[in-house]
Homo-oligomer: A and B are copies of this chain.
Amino acid sequence: MDHGDHLYALLLAGGKGTRFWPLSREDHPKQLLKLFSDRTLVEETYDRIRALIPNDRVLVATSKGLATRLTALFADIPERNFIVEPVPRNTAPCIAVAAQRILERDKDAIIAVLPSDHFVTDRAAFLEVMGAAVTHAARGRIVTLGITPTHPETGYGYVRFGEFEQDPEHPETRHRARHIQAFVEKPDHATALSYLKAGRYLWNSGIFVFRADVIIEKVKAHLPGLHDGVTTLSGLAPDRANAAAIERVWVEMPDISIDYGVMEKAEGLCVIPASFGWSDVGTWRALTSFPTDDAENFVLGKVVNVDSHGNVLYSSHGLLATLGLRNMVVVVTRGAVLVCPADRTQDVKALVEELKQRDMTEYL
């Protein structure tokens, strides 16, 4: 069987978040930003997977507020492939709902779950690892991609791996899977350093590949309430007449991530160690890892930088001029400008809170 014909992608595009304020606003989250090209992050995610998966097998899970923009952005994706959450829940509900819907289309379906706001440098390497992951998923394994750490990052969760998986079909594959011993939370710096030295920890990329029937079984086992909701929804055609009924089901769904609700409890998970220049682009600082000029600056937009090194310099609105800057983040948008040292960008959330406190809602 050619697994490729049964391969589906689920883009998780419902996230909101303010860590990229002032570029990201409440109605303009990270996945809709153009940080690396003239394509938004969610479009780049779609572009990346299209060599493996045709447009009618790409599903998009998103929120009510973003649905219109996403359907416009992906005019080539059939409307039935959009899963619109009437109320914000975490990843487990939308993945389960998507898996059920796909399963009803294709009992042999394999699903690649892709966060839509990450960045990948080496697309060819990414596709190669995805191919390997699909092979393991076809055998009934839940596969996650684990990124080989390049530095003691404290902003990511980690996966600790064990022995190699037995793979009778592909004993010689370059991308052999490992048993997962544990998912571990974001560490402090010392712990992250010990993970790096130990060599048995990978960054949890949030990219999963599994058979639709397998994940539904796991949901049934570990989140029976969610499974009930999914079953109820599958009897309701996603049209306007059922909108109220559908919303009632969603309201009852548990607000839980797939990692916490299923993956950390399930057995038989495996991880494929990979290196394809991945980042979850969690804060402005993350962009310092992708410099665009000789002075190690990440520069986007109309910027003149004199004697400035290691900065993130972004302007979507007018000229940004810098002089003698080191390791700073400067973001110029229409109506709002952010300036902070790169090592403080995790606190942008606090700054946004401050704006809320001051009732400066026009800037949120």
Contact with B along A320-364 (1 / 0, CB 8 A): 111111001010101111111100100110110011001010010
Q: Does A22 contact B (CB under 8 A)?
A: yes
Q: Which residues in B have their C-beta under 8 angstroms from that of A199?
A: none
User: Provided the pairs A330-B337, A339-B339, A350-B306 are in contact, do residues A360 and B319 lie with their beta carbons within 8 angstroms?
Assistant: yes
The reply on A304 being an interface residue by CB < 8 A is: yes
Given contacts A323-B348, A324-B344, A341-B324, contact A318 B336 (CB under 8 A): yes
Contact with B along A274-289 (1 / 0, CB 8 A): 0000000000000000
Inter-subunit contact B324/A336 (CB<8 Å): no
Return chain B residues, CB-CB under 8 Å to A324.
Answer: 340-341, 344, 347
A315 touches B (CB below 8 Å): yes
B321 touches A22 (CB 8 A): yes
Q: Establish whether residues B322 and A360, one from each chain, have CB atoms under 8 Å apart when the complex forms.
A: no
Copy tally for this chain in the complex stands at: 2
Cβ B337 vs Cβ A318 within 8 A: yes
CB distance from A339 to the nearest CB of B (A): 5
Within the assembled complex, what's the spacing in Å between the Cα atoms of A325 and B347? 12
How far is A55 from B351 in the complex, measured between Cα atoms in Å? 49
Across-interface contacts of A306 in B (CB, < 8 A): 347, 350-351, 354
Chain A residues at the B interface, C-beta cutoff of 8 Å: 21-22, 304, 306, 315, 318-325, 328, 330, 332, 334-341, 344, 347-348, 350-351, 354-355, 358, 360, 363
Could you pull out 11 A-B pairs where Cβ atoms are within 8 angstroms? A304-B354, A306-B347, A319-B363, A320-B337, A320-B339, A321-B336, A321-B338, A321-B355, A323-B347, A323-B348, A330-B339
